Amino acid sequence: MITLALSKGRIFDDTLPLLRAAGVEVLEDPEKSRKLILRTSRDDVRVVLVRASDVPTYVQHGGADLGVAGHDVLLEHTHELANGGTGGAVGLYRPVDLGIARCRMSVATRAGFDYAAAARHGARIRVATKYTHIAREHFATKGMHVDLIKLYGSMELAPLTGLADAIVDLVSTGSTLKANHLVEVEHIMDISARLVVNPASLKLKQDRLRALIDAFDAASKGVVA
């Protein structure tokens, strides 16, 4: 059996066409059932639904053979491991940038906040984010002094309530920032979703897994496998 870990929502939705192109049809709709294990048109392939941030953990520890996760999630996960957050730091094999669930990691502030001046004058600013490792590295590289405030969601609220001067968050259309009167003041990096594979699975299930990875790769490049 090959187990693929996906998260509900944009990762699942964007992965479906790639799976289809790879000859795998998911037979159940996660929006219509509460099932966490979904059957596919292949008897030897199943999909498990996990939280987006849990995908690397599942794949790393062999709860799934492969998975799809945002580069943001993978970067944060890698830093957690480096800081001793989770035991058993087995490597994750990352063979393919799928080019799906695209967005960018950015710094945003209230419209009136002069971020450029704060950065220039070496002012200490408060930054709220879910992505503390990516943010810490970004500001350290720039030599900026920041106090990071860890949040788990609704980052947009932080500058509006005075909790923080700025946020580091994902932006895709920009409409969430706009609706909250925030402006993007700095682009940190482009983000897309990656295929991650358990190295032990790759050895044990070599042929079938390789074929699936290659089919994913071809599908993500728009080539019919």
Binding residues (CB under 6 A) for ligand PRT: these are 7, 9-11, 51-53, 70, 72-73, 101, 103, 169-176, 191, 193
Chain residue at closest Cβ approach to ligand PRT: 70
Q: How far is the CB of 193 from ligand PRT (least distance, A)?
A: 6
Q: Between 41 and 172, name the residue whose CB sits nearer to ligand PRT.
A: 172
The span from the CA of 89 to the CA of 62, in Å, is 12
Q: Between 80 and 214, name the residue whose CB sits nearer to ligand PRT.
A: 80
Q: Between 119 and 171, name the residue whose CB sits nearer to ligand PRT.
A: 171
Q: How far is the CB of 130 from ligand PRT (least distance, A)?
A: 8
Q: How far is the CB of 58 from ligand PRT (least distance, A)?
A: 13
State how far the alpha carbon of 19 is from the alpha carbons of 13, 98, 133, 205, in Å: 10, 11, 31, 18
Q: How far is the CB of 10 from ligand PRT (least distance, A)?
A: 5
Q: How far is the CB of 1 from ligand PRT (least distance, A)?
A: 25
Q: Between 109 and 205, name the residue whose CB sits nearer to ligand PRT.
A: 109
Q: How many CA atoms lie within 13 A of 174 on its CB side?
A: 7
Q: Between 44 and 190, name the residue whose CB sits nearer to ligand PRT.
A: 190
Q: Between 120 and 178, name the residue whose CB sits nearer to ligand PRT.
A: 178
Q: Please report the sign of the dihedral spanned by the C-alpha atoms of residue 41, residue 42, residue 46, residue 49.
A: negative
The span from the CA of 35 to the CA of 214, in Å, is 28
Q: How far is the CB of 204 from ligand PRT (least distance, A)?
A: 28
